[in-house]
Amino acid sequence: MNKLNDYADIVGKNYINQLKSLAINLKKKKVIMVNSTKDGGGVAEILHRLVPLLNELGIQTKWETISGDSDFFNTTKNIHNALQGQKICFPREMLEHYLEVNKKNSEKFEFSEDFVFIHDPQPLPIIRHFNKNKSKWIWRCHIDLSKPDLSLWKFLKSYLLQYDASIFSIAKFTRVLPHPQYLVPPSIDPLSDKNKELEKSEIDDVISSFGINSDKPIILQVSRFDRFKGPLGVINAYRMVKKEINCQLILAGGEASDDPEGKIVYDEVRQEAGNDPDIKLLLLKPNSNIEINVLQRIADVIIQNSSKEGFGLVVTEALWKRKPVIGGAVGGITLQIINHQTGFLIHSDEGAAFRIRYLLNRKHISEKMGKLAREYVLNNFLITRHLRDYLSIMIALENKNKHIVQL
Ligand code: UDP
């Protein structure tokens, strides 16, 4: 596992020293992170890195998960969807079960730590079983709350009011709350298998195992087979481009078989692709990190044609590999793509085709934008910035009543 100093080659020694200095203010503090899974998903991926790094900085940090039965997780999935705007009816017993499971989980915690970070809605109401006289409680929300189902929001807010602060990924995801709110965008780990620099032999291995023909320019989208990711629109845009440029399209996404909806979308995409030998659908196994890394590095143009998006980490991953990204102007994509600088924001398949052609025909501009893209991620979306944000928030909460904080 990489140590903090290993990141100095990327962000500079001064940045690492700054993190160490900030952490001095929190020496001997204890932190607990609570979410509902250690495997899969962006939250777990980030915590797997953040927790060891906080410990390395001398802040004793534990990571625990809550458990629940399938009814509980069905309810929390519905809560997640309703908070992001879907109309869903919540019978009383469903929400009572949600509270009950949280109550059961509360028995295994003491929460005597100085900072309690509760991630997302699953463990949100656990706070009501604790007398939080000493600890600072922070709700870390990774989802878009801009248009929630209002009655559900009212129910959850009654528990959220007991927290000392909330953290959201981007400004437009927030709501009015009576406590401090902080904005902390997600981040990627530049040293992970998905993002680290690769040897040529590693790249060649993946190219040959997928049977990719490197002779034609590659247009790539990496994402789950989900309608909101717009895979059919990508094929449409590719076909418009193909009339003028002999290119190929790769759509790569996770095992569709575990998700019935994913399988349906995959079949639709398969059908739309027909027998075009220049469209490759790659069904990726879980943890295909090196594979995704390679695909993003060998692509000539990367697209993320989402019509709805949380943050869209896959965009940051591509920008980090010096690739400008053509992305739907939604959610966190708008924070990552600075139009005409780190990529292009699009609103239609025609727009996507126009920008794909633009980049394929202008390699020098693509490279120039790619350099900016890399720099933008370096300054904004790396795990080290995430770490600095968490340290700063804890220091701010520790000094809540002071006008000046001496660091
Ligand atoms: N990803 C993956 N396998 C896949 C598709 C995506 O590992 O088959 C990764 C992708 O590299 C990124 C994350 O899953 O790290 C997707 O995050 P994003 O925010 O882009 O979209 P989400 O799937 O969370 O809506």
Which three-class secondary structure string do you get for the chain? CCCHHHHHHHHCHHHHHHHHHHHHCCCCCEEEEEECCCCCHHHHHHHHHHHHHHHHCCCEEEEEECCCCHHHHHHHHHHHHHHCCCCCCCCHHHHHHHHHHHHHHHCCCCCCCCEEEEECCCCHHHHHHCCCCCCEEEEECCCCCCCCCHHHHHHHHHHHCCCCEEEECCHHHCCCCCCCEEECCCCECCCCCCCCCCCHHHHHHHHHHHCCCCCCCEEEEECCCCHHHCHHHHHHHHHHHHCCCCCEEEEEEECHHHCHHHHHHHHHHHHHHCCCCCEEEEEECCCCHHHHHHHHHHCCEEEECCCCCCCCHHHHHHHHCCCCEEEECCCCHHHHCCECCCEEEECCHHHHHHHHHHHHHCHHHHHHHHHHHHHHHHHHCEHHHHHHHHHHHHHHHHCCCCCCCCC
Residues in a beta bridge with 344: 326
Choosing from 39, 292, 383 the residue with most ligand 1 atoms within 8 A of its CB, the one to mutate for a pocket test is 292
Of residues 274, 366, 287, 364, the one with CA closest to residue 319: 366
Choosing from 222, 294, 325 the residue with most ligand 1 atoms within 8 A of its CB, the one to mutate for a pocket test is 222
The protein residue whose alpha carbon is closest to atom 19 in ligand 1 is 312
- Over residues 345-354, the pLDDT tens digits come to 999 999 999 9
pLDDT score of 89 = 94
pTM, whole model, 2 decimals? 0.93
The protein residue whose alpha carbon is closest to atom 22 in ligand 1 is 312
pLDDT score of 259 = 61
* Structural contact between residues 186 and 381, judged by C-beta atoms closer than 8 angstroms: yes
In the structure, which protein residues have their CB atom closer than 6 angstroms to any atom of ligand 1?
42, 194, 222-224, 253-254, 284, 288, 292, 310-314, 317
User: Virtual CA dihedral for 248, 252, 256, 258, nearest 10 degrees?
Assistant: 170
pLDDT score of 401 = 82
Measured from the CA of 224, which atom of ligand 1 is nearest? Answer: 5
CA of 316 to the centre of ligand 1 (A): 11
CA of 381 to the centre of ligand 1 (A): 16
pLDDT score of 132 = 73
Measured from the CA of 228, which atom of ligand 1 is nearest? Answer: 25
pLDDT score of 33 = 98
Q: Domains in the chain, please, with CATH?
A: 4-187+382-398 (3.40.50.2000), 200-380 (3.40.50.2000)
pLDDT score of 404 = 80
CA of 43 to the centre of ligand 1 (A): 11
Choosing from 221, 224, 320 the residue with most ligand 1 atoms within 8 A of its CB, the one to mutate for a pocket test is 224
Please report, in tens digits, the pLDDT of each residue of the chain (407 residues total).
Answer: 889 999 999 999 999 999 999 999 999 999 999 999 988 778 888 999 999 999 999 999 999 999 999 999 999 989 998 998 889 999 999 999 999 999 999 999 999 999 999 999 999 999 999 987 789 999 999 988 999 999 999 999 999 999 999 999 999 999 999 999 999 999 999 999 999 999 999 999 999 999 999 999 999 999 989 888 999 999 999 999 999 999 999 999 986 454 667 888 999 999 999 999 999 999 998 889 999 999 999 999 999 999 988 899 999 999 999 999 999 999 999 999 999 999 999 999 999 999 999 999 999 999 999 999 999 999 999 999 999 999 999 999 999 888 887 77
pLDDT score of 338 = 98
